[in-house]
Structure 1
């Protein structure tokens, strides 16, 4: 991949898709807590609030779009900081794990509390650990490995 924009797009697309598939697999099929459309409506509710749950099917697509926007933003940010932090270049696996923790922290400690002030407190339990592992595996790793591959040709 020659263009940085293309590499960022690929990283965001892969990360966003992996994260969504993992979330749907875990929350819809393993825990059987949420229907896949409810997951996407929940994402849309960050902007549309209660209307995301009462609105039509377009809310599912808004949730999907917002999900990928977030994934592309995390990919763009990593590609932007990558050249300036030499430790990111040493080990893509470790860098991906650290970046996944960073992404999880940003989403769960900043973004979600702003979008949903009444969220219940988080407790260290199995679903929380799974959510962290999903973000590390599906967001951190693919973005780090795609960035390493892209920048190795520079």
Structure 2
């Protein structure tokens, strides 16, 4: 009689043992060369690598700048501008329109009062204008007029 449990029992415990191989210490130094002695090929490669590295860095900076500019512009166009327009139209515009209409109504209501005050104060203004505290005359007594 076949019992399915017998097959799975052998795999539940995992492997019997795990082998760990230790490599020789300081093995990375076996392939290293003296850094002070360069070959002609390495010197030529370093001479070519300097301008290439500068050109590559410049191209990368231009690409990164373009990408960041595009992301900022997209975020501005898709989120910031509609959000600001919605905030203005929903939050700021109604109180501003109310204040403008109230100021116009107040001006229209106070115009007769201002005209009456102007008519009442006009004689006093003429009297004060007639009083001179200092009188300045400019006359040239010389023969030549400049």
Instruction: Please indicate the TM-score interval, normalised by the length of the shorter structure.
Output: under 0.3
TM-score normalized by the length of structure 2: 0.22
Indicate the structure with greater helix content.
Answer: 1
Query: Whose radius of gyration is greater, 1 or 2?
Result: 2
Q: 1 or 2 for the larger relative contact order (CA 8 Å, sep ≥6)?
A: 1
